[in-house]
Amino acid sequence: MTQYVNINVDGMSIQAPKGTSVLDAALDSGICIPHLCRVPYVADIGACRLCIVENVLNGHSKITTSCTLRVKEGMVIRSNTEKIIKLRRNIAELLVAEAPNSRAVQDVAKRCGVRDVRYSFHNSNCILCGKCVRVCPGTLGVKPLTFVGRGKDRRVEAPFNLKTELCNDCGRCIDLCPMTVVPCLGAMKTGEEHLCVNCEAKMDFIEETPGLCVWCYFGEGFQCQRHDLGTRGRARA
């Protein structure tokens, strides 16, 4: 039988099955915590850092990613304090400045409240979320996709840059890649230092209803789990 624990997210009491992550528990209860590098049912690595929350323990709050944090009885989580919102916006700003042409990144940046970007735009085609690497089944546990290099040289590549026979062309990596989501109409071009008009209009909506799940607007872009489930008209088990 599944054991449940009680946690408190943003003042809301939630019952979550033991062993799930705080992010899963929150998403299942309709609390939207932005996330980008998460793949359902695959181990989280905490790379994008967008799902940061404050874990309040004995009066001290510790900032940590909710995807890697397992629920524990009596846990108190704050996901939308002023500090968290500001930090999340700064991270999203870094991401959108790195890969401005991805709709997924743009959407999540908008969701996090990025209005203008203070950095010059890089035109990367990978934000190293690692979804592809983690989801790749490979053959016999040997993966044709992996992270190569360190720091600013880190990239996703086939080992030794060879497409090996280990790849069975399942295409899961392409499905999940946030860079392959069809760009929205107002996608930024290199050198354009503002977000598109469409997106800014949606921003107002978010500011009026903070903490509310907005999957209907942005979830598709950054592949929010709630959006996926919502579009399938799922019922909670």
DSSP 160: G
CB atoms within 10 A of CB 54: 20
Contact 102, 181 (CB under 8 A): yes
Q: How far is the CB of 55 from other proteins (least distance, A)?
A: 8
Would you say 31 or 97 has its CB closer to other proteins?
Answer: 97
Backbone angles phi and psi of 44, in degrees to 5: -85, 150
Report which secondary-structure segment, H or E, holds 106.
Answer: helix 103-111
Cα separation, 89 vs 193, in Å, equals 16
* Tokens 């499905």, located at residue: 175
Q: How far is the CB of 48 from other proteins (least distance, A)?
A: 6
Would you say 61 or 186 has its CB closer to other proteins?
Answer: 61
Would you say 66 or 219 has its CB closer to other proteins?
Answer: 66
Written as six digits, the tokens of 5 are 């624990």
Written as six digits, the tokens of 141 are 């546990």
Would you say 11 or 151 has its CB closer to other proteins?
Answer: 151
Q: How far is the CB of 108 from other proteins (least distance, A)?
A: 11
Would you say 98 or 228 has its CB closer to other proteins?
Answer: 98
Binding site for other proteins (CB under 8 A): 45-50, 52, 63-65, 68-70, 83, 87, 90-91, 94-95, 97-98, 118-120, 127-128, 130, 147, 149-154
CB atoms within 10 A of CB 105: 28
Would you say 80 or 229 has its CB closer to other proteins?
Answer: 80
Q: How far is the CB of 35 from other proteins (least distance, A)?
A: 12
Q: How far is the CB of 213 from other proteins (least distance, A)?
A: 23
Backbone angles phi and psi of 147, in degrees to 5: -80, 135
Q: How far is the CB of 234 from other proteins (least distance, A)?
A: 29
DSSP 122: P
Contact 222, 104 (CB under 8 A): yes
